[in-house]
């Protein structure tokens, strides 16, 4: 029997899985950590503790629980949140906390500066993406301007998966899918780094080597073996961003398939037969040569439910708070008795890309309950998700199949509201482990033990969520109000910022 190990580092938790060659899960483990917000608009992790510390803990725990000989693991795959920005020294050690993906807004000034200097159309044409808070290039420029001591001493600037792979193998690599988020430093026609658009951000040799996701980056070193419990010499793949691994884990393999990840943020990936070019969306080469992906996402989703629990459910036992809140929300009718919530507590990403956007609770009266507010929160996330579906339809690229994954799929109110508001059915797969399961599959794929199409055998469909037409009228009204609230208050939101 062959085994494959996958570990994923998320925004609030890291998860791992050991899987056999039939897709059966032998062992799992998880470890929570915090997202640091040292000031409004920033979002950080501690790489040594939150990324590498979690990886070592999870690997050791799964090996101990499963009693599998580490030498029986044929390959290791890892993924992590991204794109992140982290300066590391010549030994791959973190020099500071890592600036996280699009929820971190610190480089707004640099985004505007680079867009003005280079030109928005030129950036979109050459990089496939407009510069947004999701882009790493402006955050590197922010580091150069605001933390010059770190910038000058850094041997490399890396993202989260790169950091993990370097700790495991000593090799500093990144996959094309992740690298495409380093705009304006990655050009899609070149399929690699280029400083033609922005020669003054960073020397290109200080960026990781670009490979494809399932390329073998290297083997586990003796030092990493001692820290993780894995066998020295075990192959490690280049890996990717968590959302991409998660998309593959639920069977996203053909053009028109779209993954909707119900996580700390809503994140969507859709495979397409050609490059989709639209400033509101993100583009990247997919995990394999010749394939294309279009991405989109909200800035605050699961993080909004965490915030709501921490602020408004302190009377509930922590372990059962979400279950109770969901039960209370189920007692509120679709439309939350007239309450509409804008979920923009960390600004907003697709399609408005407004770092000044603010959260709003609209329509309150003295009869409203906590259940109404919690339903309004998850419906607000669903309204934002529907606005992304509308964006794809506007450009003639409507998704054909929605594959739902992530912790939020366990919230029936959230999942059902998304289908009711959009009118689109969703498929939930049998295994919802997420990115760590995808990492294990990618590891098996890298060593030739499976084909891409085998993911359907590893993880068959479990259930479908269909839209309920009887709620269409109330949701159409609420959605119209949702969009109008933002349109009529965005100038005031900017003034508050």
Average the pLDDT over 190-196 and give the result. 95
pLDDT, one tens digit per residue, over 92-145 is 999 999 999 988 999 999 999 999 999 999 999 999 999 999 999 999 999 999
- On whether the CB atoms of residues 102 and 131 are closer than 8 A, the answer is no
Confidence category of residue 325, pLDDT binned at 50, 70, 90 = very high
Same-domain status, 262 and 237: no
Residue percentage of the chain with pLDDT more than 70: 100
pLDDT of residue 434 exceeding 90: no
| pLDDT for residue 433 | 84
Last residue within a domain, chosen from 202, 224, 244: 244
- On whether the CB atoms of residues 340 and 421 are closer than 8 A, the answer is no
| pLDDT for residue 38 | 95
Average the pLDDT over 147-154 and give the result. 97
Average the pLDDT over 294-309 and give the result. 95
Name the one residue in this structure whose structure tokens are 């030129």: 122
Last residue within a domain, chosen from 244, 262, 295: 244
Average the pLDDT over 192-196 and give the result. 96
| pLDDT for residue 263 | 87
pLDDT, one tens digit per residue, over 35-76 is 999 998 899 999 999 999 999 999 999 999 999 999 999 999
Same-domain status, 8 and 155: yes
CATH number for the domain harbouring residue 31: 3.30.420.40
Tell how strand 173-175 and strand 86-88 pair up.
unpaired
Same-domain status, 240 and 288: no
Q: 54 preceded by cis ω (within 30°)?
A: no
Does residue 497 belong to any structural domain of this protein?
yes
Does residue 339 belong to any structural domain of this protein?
yes
Same-domain status, 129 and 27: yes
Same-domain status, 203 and 288: no
**In 162-188, which positions are buried (b, 16+ CB within 10 angstroms) versus exposed (e)?**
bbbbbbbbbbbbbbbbbbbbbbbbbbb
The mean of the pLDDT values for the chain is 96
Same-domain status, 203 and 170: yes
| pLDDT for residue 26 | 98
pLDDT of residue 147 exceeding 90: yes
| pLDDT for residue 219 | 98
Residue 168 has which token pair? 């495991």
Same-domain status, 101 and 210: yes
Last residue within a domain, chosen from 200, 229, 244: 244
Does residue 458 belong to any structural domain of this protein?
no
- On whether the CB atoms of residues 47 and 134 are closer than 8 A, the answer is no
| pLDDT for residue 72 | 97
Confidence category of residue 88, pLDDT binned at 50, 70, 90 = very high
Collect all residues with Cβ–Cβ distance below 8 Å to 380 and sequence separation of at least 6. Answer: 304, 340, 341, 342, 343, 482
Q: Please name which of 297, 225, 206, 309 lies closest in space to residue 258, comparing C-alpha atoms.
A: 297
Does residue 238 belong to any structural domain of this protein?
yes
Collect all residues with Cβ–Cβ distance below 8 Å to 49 and sequence separation of at least 6. Answer: 33
Same-domain status, 227 and 257: no
Same-domain status, 160 and 269: no
Does residue 460 belong to any structural domain of this protein?
no
pLDDT of residue 1 exceeding 90: no
| pLDDT for residue 264 | 86
pLDDT, one tens digit per residue, over 239-296 is 999 999 999 999 999 999 999 999 888 999 999 989 999 989 999 999 999 999 999 9
Does residue 448 belong to any structural domain of this protein?
no
Same-domain status, 427 and 289: yes
| pLDDT for residue 71 | 97
Average the pLDDT over 213-232 and give the result. 98
- On whether the CB atoms of residues 82 and 12 are closer than 8 A, the answer is no
Neighbours of 492 (CB within 10 A): 11
- On whether the CB atoms of residues 437 and 25 are closer than 8 A, the answer is yes
Average the pLDDT over 182-202 and give the result. 96
Count CA atoms closer than 13 A to 318's CA, side-chain side.
3
| pLDDT for residue 103 | 87
pLDDT, one tens digit per residue, over 328-367 is 999 999 999 999 999 999 999 999 999 899 999 999 999 9
Same-domain status, 168 and 294: no
Does residue 119 belong to any structural domain of this protein?
yes
How wide is the angle at C-alpha 264 spanned by C-alphas 9 and 135, nearest 5°? 75
Domain limits for position 238: 3-244
Does residue 17 belong to any structural domain of this protein?
yes
Same-domain status, 319 and 376: yes
Domain count, the chain: 2
């Amino acid at each position: 029997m062959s085994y494959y190990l996958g570990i994923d580092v998320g925004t609030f938790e890291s998860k791992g899985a050991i899987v056999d060659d039939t897709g059966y899960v032998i062992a799992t483990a998880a470890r929570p950590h915090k997202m640091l917000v040292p000031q409004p608009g920033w979002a950080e992790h501690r790489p040594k503790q939150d990324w590498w510390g979690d990886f070592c803990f999870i690997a050791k725990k799964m090996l101990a629980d499963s009693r599998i000989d580490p030498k029986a693991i044929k390959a290791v795959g890892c993924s992590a949140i991204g794109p992140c920005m982290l300066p590391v020294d010549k030994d791959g050690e973190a020099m500071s906390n890592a600036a996280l993906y699009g929820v971190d807004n610190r480089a707004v000034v640099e985004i505007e500066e680079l867009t003005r200097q280079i030109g928005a159309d030129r950036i979109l044409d050459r990089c496939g993406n407009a510069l947004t808070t999701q882009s790493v290039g402006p955050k590197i420029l922010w580091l150069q301007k605001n933390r010059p001591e770190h910038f000058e001493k850094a041997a490399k600037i890396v993202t989260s998966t790169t950091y993990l792979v370097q700790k495991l193998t000593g090799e500093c690599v990144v996959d094309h899918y992740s690298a495409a988020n380093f705009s304006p430093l990655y050009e899609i026609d070149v399929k690699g780094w280029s400083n033609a658009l922005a020669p003054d951000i960073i020397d290109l040799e200080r960026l990781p080597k670009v490979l494809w996701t399932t390329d073998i980056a290297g083997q586990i070193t003796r030092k990493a073996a001692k820290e993780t419990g894995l066998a020295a010499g075990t192959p490690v793949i280049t890996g990717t961003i968590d959302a991409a691994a998660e998309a593959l884990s639920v069977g996203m393999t053909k053009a028109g398939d779209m993954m909707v990840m119900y996580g700390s943020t809503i994140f969507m990936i859709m495979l397409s037969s050609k490059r989709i070019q639209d400033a509101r969306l993100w583009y990247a080469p997919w995990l394999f040569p010749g394939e294309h992906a279009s991405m989109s996402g909200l800035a605050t989703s699961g993080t909004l439910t965490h915030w709501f629990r921490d602020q408004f459910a302190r009377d509930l036992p922590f372990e059962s708070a979400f279950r109770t809140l969901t039960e209370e929300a189920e007692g509120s009718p679709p439309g939350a008795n007239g309450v509409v919530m804008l979920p923009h507590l960390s600004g907003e990403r697709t399609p408005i890309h407004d770092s000044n956007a603010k959260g709003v609770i609209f329509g309150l009266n003295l009869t409203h309950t906590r259940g109404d507010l919690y339903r309004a929160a998850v419906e607000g996330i669903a309204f934002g998700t529907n606005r992304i579906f509308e964006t794809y339809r506007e450009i003639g690229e409507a998704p054909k199949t929605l594959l739902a994954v992530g912790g939020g799929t366990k919230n029936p109110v959230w999942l059902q509201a998304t289908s009711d508001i959009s009118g689109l059915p969703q498929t939930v797969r049998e295994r919802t482990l997420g990115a760590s399961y995808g990492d294990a599959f990618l590891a098996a794929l890298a060593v030739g033990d499976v084909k891409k199409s085998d993911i359907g055998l590893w993880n068959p469909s479990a259930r479908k969520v269909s839209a309920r037409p009887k709620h269409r009228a109330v949701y159409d009204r609420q959605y119209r109000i949702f969009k109008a609230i933002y349109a009529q208050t965005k100038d005031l939101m900017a003034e508050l910022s």
